[in-house]
Chains A and B, each alone.
Chain A
Amino acid sequence: MKSILSMATILMILLSVAQVNAQDGNSILQKVDEVMFSPNDMSATNKIILIDKNQKQETREAKVIQKGTDKRLFRFTSPASQAGIAFLSLPNDVMYLYMPAFAKERRISTSVKNQNFAGTDFSYDDLEAKAFASKYTPKLLKTEGNTFVLELTPKTKGEYSKVIATINKTEYYVHKTEFYDNGNKKIKEAIYTFKKIGKYWNPAEIVMTDLKKNHKTKMIMENVKYDTGLKDDDFTVRKLVQ
């Protein structure tokens, strides 16, 4: 009888701890979203450096504007072979591609989210500006120094089975994310460097490493401006094909 009671007590304690952890994970992730997605809009130039296993580098540049968490316009400015190519992402996974050579926009299938973005180690999915809480179910794994470590499980099936995110305990921005495939093998890792611009924390540099290919992409954000009053009109096919 005693053993049954003690078992039940242990179970209840375990369950309540799990609940506390889940709640903690949720509240932490909510705070991360508040830090990362609080600006109304953002404009920046992106320098994208591809580094192969022999440390050979290729650089691409683009301008990006974003409004809220689901409107983004990304336009390459270099190299010359890609200059002018632009992507427009709108709510409900509506995406358009503009290639100057074809003189018109083209709706892109949502399956493109499986792909790496323009030869980088980021998938289209990685670059989505959607709030973490809308994409993942969090679980607090541990606290380590000045960081929380969360396990994020995707709410819908995709290329990752889970993401382990290391989060700054005081400012709630992300230090590191580790991506695991459906075989639970770590396949990618992103290291973030955040800088404060005005009242917002900005991911000034992200280094994404594809562990299988031993290939890196360094994405540097420059000339970042927040809350400049971008309108919905700036995120239309009309603007895409300019």
Chain B
Amino acid sequence: MKKIVLIIQIAMLVGIANLKAQDSIPENELQTENPILKISGEFLGDERFLLNDNDQWFWNENRLSLKLEKKSENGVKFFSEIWFRNFGLPAYQSAADLYNKGILNPNEIEIRELYVSKQGFLFENLDVKLGRQRIAWGTADKLNPTDNLNAYDLEDLLDFGRHRASNTLNMNLFLNNEFSLQAVYIPFFEPTNLPVSVFANVLNSDFTLPQGMTLTAQSNEIIQPEFSFLENAVYGFKFKGYAKGIDFSLSYLSGRDALPTAAYNTFTPTDGWGGVSIHSNLEYAPVHVLGFDLATNIANVGVWAETALYFAKEDVHIKNNLSAFYPYLPQPVISDSIFWKKTESKLKWVVGGDYHFSKGGYINFQYLHGFIHERGNENLSDYFFLRYEKTFFNEKLKLMPLSGAFIVTDWENLNENFAYAYMPEVVYFATPEMEISLSAVLFEGKGNNLFAGLKDLDMLMFKLKYSF
């Protein structure tokens, strides 16, 4: 019902906007600096299938991204971006499902951003933005350890760096043209949404049971933080500047870990042969994050570095309740280990560079230490990303013959703990508004790491994007 109301509201908004555009605004005025209401967006068609599983389709996405924007001369801006999606494959299992269009043809609506901003609010140097918005921190290319204000959107694991927007009060005070201070307050924490489709279990940690036990069932419950003013809030500050040819920023964030920890696990025997079920209480550990980033040019090479130091606000425990195995003992049997001591920080960082060659060549390299799902300094893997692209025919065609990532989880036993993803791509810009891309992703690896878990999921992807 809510969705229907939302659709009607959006349709009315679009209708009103169109009426206004048709009735009183000459077409060319929509291109001026202060349009009455600018409507733009894009259509994305994204189809993927697996190469080594009988060419099985696994991804179907048809997305309309609709953007409405209005800028006033007094520095007020309204912006919204809404996704209308036909996302997923039909999943009918019984005749009853044939009555349900939601199963046969899964559609959804998502408000990606919806905010109002004011330049020069109260003071000339203060900008304020209020509403659902994306605040991207960090100078690295899509892989940003300091980008923790908004929840990660891991739905498509190959779309690195995608986040959801958050309901936010965002204030920027410009001290001069080089230095600024930013304060951000997000009243309630929103958790990361996890990968879907074939990527669904990739980020799950390995769970090692004691010898002789077999997992027969698993359930969990997320302990959601209370909606109190600070308890559930995410807030942060950033000092940003430019000096001696270097852009840099220092940031602090108070929030929660991006992924939950199984803080309390209750083990229950299910049979007499070692079968066990586990019920876990999942909690998002409160964290402090200190960040630093920079970007500059060295000998015509663009260079960036970014690091984030994560501290748990309290010791993060993992407790295992094994009482069901010892019914005759008067006291509960609970093992308690500290998963993350508050005195122990974890440091994730990235360095990278890029260079433009004459005649359309471009290379981008990044080294990342610690991916989003990795915890504990000793468990952080090393990731090397490389992309070389070249354009042809006046930028009508772009080839990315060298594109991919290499992971090392244990340098001392490299042969058993590595993985790579090779991602060649070709993009054809059919018209200024339309681009068509064809790409493949080939995974290989050994050990317990992100891409090794995908090694049976080599895929081919076709995307079409039309902007309007």
Contact = CB atoms under 8 A, between A and B. Distances in A.
B282 to A, nearest CB: 30
A236 B302 contact: no
A114 B432 contact: no
Contacts of A50: 394
Contacts of A115: 356, 358, 360, 362
A29 B180 CA distance: 41
Most buried by A among B71, B77, B177, B242: B177
Size bin of chain A's contact surface: 35 or more
Contacts of A102: 136
A12 to B, nearest CB: 43
A109 B394 contact: no
Interface of B: 31, 33, 40, 42, 71, 77, 119, 127, 134-137, 139, 141, 172, 174, 177, 180, 242, 245, 247, 295-297, 300-304, 353-358, 360, 362, 394-395, 431-435, 465, 467-468
Interface in A105-147: 106-116, 119
Interface stretch (A1-9, A13-21, A32-40, A79-87): A79-87
A232 B177 contact: yes
B296 A236 contact: no
Interface stretch (A55-63, A166-174, A190-198, A199-207): A55-63
B433 A110 contact: no
B432 A58 contact: yes
Interface in A29-83: 50, 52, 58, 60-61, 63, 77-83
B174 A109 contact: no
Nearest to B69: A84
A119 B393 CA distance: 9
Given A108-B302, A115-B356, A116-B360, A80 B31 contact: no
A14 to B, nearest CB: 37
B300 A109 contact: yes
B433 A238 contact: no
B432 A60 contact: yes
B435 A81 contact: yes
Contacts of A185: none
A107 B302 contact: yes
A155 B242 CA distance: 28
A107 B140 CA distance: 10
B467 A80 contact: yes
Contacts of A77: 31
Nearest to B138: A104
A184 interface: no
Contacts of B40: 80, 83
A104 B139 CA distance: 9
A63 B127 contact: no
Nearest to A108: B302
B31 A78 contact: yes
Contacts of A213: 394
Most buried by B among A50, A94, A111, A213: A111
A111 B302 contact: yes
Given A107-B139, A233-B177, A79 B432 contact: yes
A61 B180 CA distance: 32
Contacts of B360: 115-116
A159 interface: yes
Nearest to A84: B40
A79 B136 contact: no
A152 to B, nearest CB: 20
A92 interface: yes
Contacts of B300: 109-111
A124 B177 CA distance: 24
Nearest to A77: B31
A82 B174 CA distance: 28
15 contacts: A58-B431, A79-B433, A81-B432, A92-B245, A94-B245, A104-B137, A109-B300, A109-B301, A110-B300, A111-B355, A115-B360, A238-B174, A242-B71, A242-B77, A242-B119
